[in-house]
Each structure stands twice: as C-alpha cells, then as structure tokens.
Structure 1
C-alpha cells in the first residue's frame, strides 16, 4: 500500500518543484519615446507589469533598435521581488524619425542563465528628432541656463534644433 501511494504521489511532488510554464512572468503595458526638451535627448520607455513570480536573481535584458544605425542599444535590469512594475529606459538616442517603427527585444533571464520569457515590440514616434534643441537648454543640478545657448544670459531669437547626420 505504501509503495502504491508513493508511486501515485511522485508526479505531484515533482511538479511542485518546477516552475509552471503557463503564465509568463511579465506583461508589456507601455511603450513610447520620451523627448526631454530641456536636456535635448530622446529615449525609449518600456513598462512591464509582473504577473507571475520569478526566481530570485533574475534579470530583464532589452535590445533597442538604434535609430542612428549600428549595433542595438542594450540595457539590463535586475528584477526585485517587491517591485510589481519594471520600467526600461534606453540610453540616449539620436535620429528618431516620425512614423517609423523601431524594434525592441526583451528577455527575462533566470539566475542560472535560462531564458524564462521573450517579448518583442515595435515603438513608433509621433515626433522627429528635429523637435529637440541641438544643445541642452539647462545644465547642472540646479537646471541653470546653458551658457552655450543663452549667450550673455539672453534668450536667442531662435533655438538651433537637432539634426540627424543622414
């Protein structure tokens, strides 16, 4: 009788030790470009909500298509157990074109290096890079006027706008 009970419970005990493959741990909840006019830069912003637990020590890795061409821009963030939302902001971008879809690839990697989930998204901007000034309007922790833009403390008649070399 004990042997029969052990054989019957063995699959249940083994299943309890494994991660369920049903629900992905993260869900894509937002994607956009952020244009910071005062500091003259643009970035990708991706938000993800945690919908299932992940092992301690897991990370999120993202590859953002580089609008200026070349290798993708990469980012890695550690997942913390108490955080329900993950925000991924790319390094600064240049040459963003209005209406062009850019690819983003995201993977959740466990502490042992196994890929737990992959996500792909396309982000399309409603603005061109030319909406930004060529130089930051403010500098420093106090957001002082940039002396390269505001000559002798005076506001220029027209701000020089950012351009893309190609």
Structure 2
C-alpha cells in the first residue's frame, strides 16, 4: 500500500511538473509581434490613401519598446517611416502610414517592420509586401467634405450642387503626360 501511495505522489508530482513546463512553452515562437493584416485604405470621402498593417502581440516586450515601419513610397523616393511606442497593456498594434499617392493595382509594395527595445536593440524584424486590388484613380482629386462636421467641399460642390463629373486623383508623375 505504501508503494502505491508513494507511486501516486511521484506520479502527481511528475504530472504537475510536466504541466508547469508545458505552460512555459510558447507555440508562437520567440517574436513579440505577429502580422495579422495588411491592406491599402482608400478614403473616398477625404480623398486619401494609406497603408494599414495590423499585428498581434504574442509575447511581452520591455517597457519603452517601439515599433518602426518603413513603407515603400508608391510615388518614389525615400520610404515613409512611422514609429510608435508599444504599450504593455495593448494586445493589438495598428500601423497606418502617412497619406500616399500613386498606388498601382496589383503591384506589391514593400513594408519592413522593426521592434526595438528601450535601448534601441532590434528585437524583431518583419518584411512583407502589400498589394492593392484598386488603383489610386478611384479617389477624387479633392476631398468631397471638409472640416469636423464633414461639410461639402465648396470647390467640389459649387453653389451646393453636385458636379456631373468628379475630377479623379492622378499620380504627380502622370501629370506630365
């Protein structure tokens, strides 16, 4: 009987230890952020486009950590850079680029994301591409509304009337043609 009790205690201890060790294992790997979404946002009403990247936090990061995204500039030139502080209590991270122009349909654009610790050390690097299913030409050339109350833009709605045809956005590189 004593052997059974000792065996039971030993088995209980082994199972408890195994469960504790299993709880420490991470299925998501060592990276603190996981890419969950990427797209272009075309805001027709305000006549702008942006990149939007979403990430889930899979591992805690040190307080004071930041995330930096470098977005390929569809108009050419230097990449557009965005840096945000990572807050420990937020599980999701949303990165939206500054306004962009010249987005072409079906063309992949590069995005590089770096997670930096408070000391500036790189904790993670993600590289991806974002491809649009629409061209920038779907946007109007000017915002349809202005101001905090979304009033009609008088340059578009002359005398309060809707135009018969909206001028559509053009890439500055296309204006020379």
TM bin, normalised by shorter chain, reads: 0.7 to 0.9
Structure 2 Cα separation of the partners of residues 26 and 136 of structure 1: 35
Structure 1 Cα separation of the partners of residues 163 and 52 of structure 2: 31
Structure 2 Cα separation of the partners of residues 91 and 107 of structure 1: 17
Structure 2 Cα separation of the partners of residues 68 and 89 of structure 1: 17
The answer to whether the aligner puts 1:105 opposite 2:108 as a matched pair is no
Give the match for residue 99 of structure 2: 92
Give the match for residue 151 of structure 1: 158
Give the Å deviation of 1:165: 2.5
Structure 1 Cα separation of the partners of residues 77 and 30 of structure 2: 35
Give the match for residue 22 of structure 2: none
Greater Rg over alpha carbons, structure:
2
The answer to whether the aligner puts 1:45 opposite 2:52 as a matched pair is yes
Give the match for residue 136 of structure 2: 129
Structure 2, gaps ≥5 residues long: 1-25
Structure 2 Cα separation of the partners of residues 43 and 165 of structure 1: 16
Give the match for residue 169 of structure 2: 162
SS of residue in 2 equivalent to 1:130: helix
SS of residue in 1 equivalent to 2:113: strand
Q: Which has the higher helix share?
A: 2
Q: Which runs of 4+ in 1 moved over 6 A?
A: none
Structure 2 Cα separation of the partners of residues 70 and 113 of structure 1: 26
Give the Å deviation of 1:33: 0.1
Give the Å deviation of 1:56: 0.2
SS of residue in 2 equivalent to 1:152: helix
Structure 2 Cα separation of the partners of residues 79 and 126 of structure 1: 30
Give the match for residue 68 of structure 1: 75
Structure 2 Cα separation of the partners of residues 165 and 34 of structure 1: 19
Give the Å deviation of 1:164: 1.0
Q: Give the total of aligned pairs.
A: 146
Aligned with residue 34 of structure 1, among 27, 33, 41: 41
Structure 1 Cα separation of the partners of residues 172 and 74 of structure 2: 12
Q: TM-score, normalised by structure 2?
A: 0.81
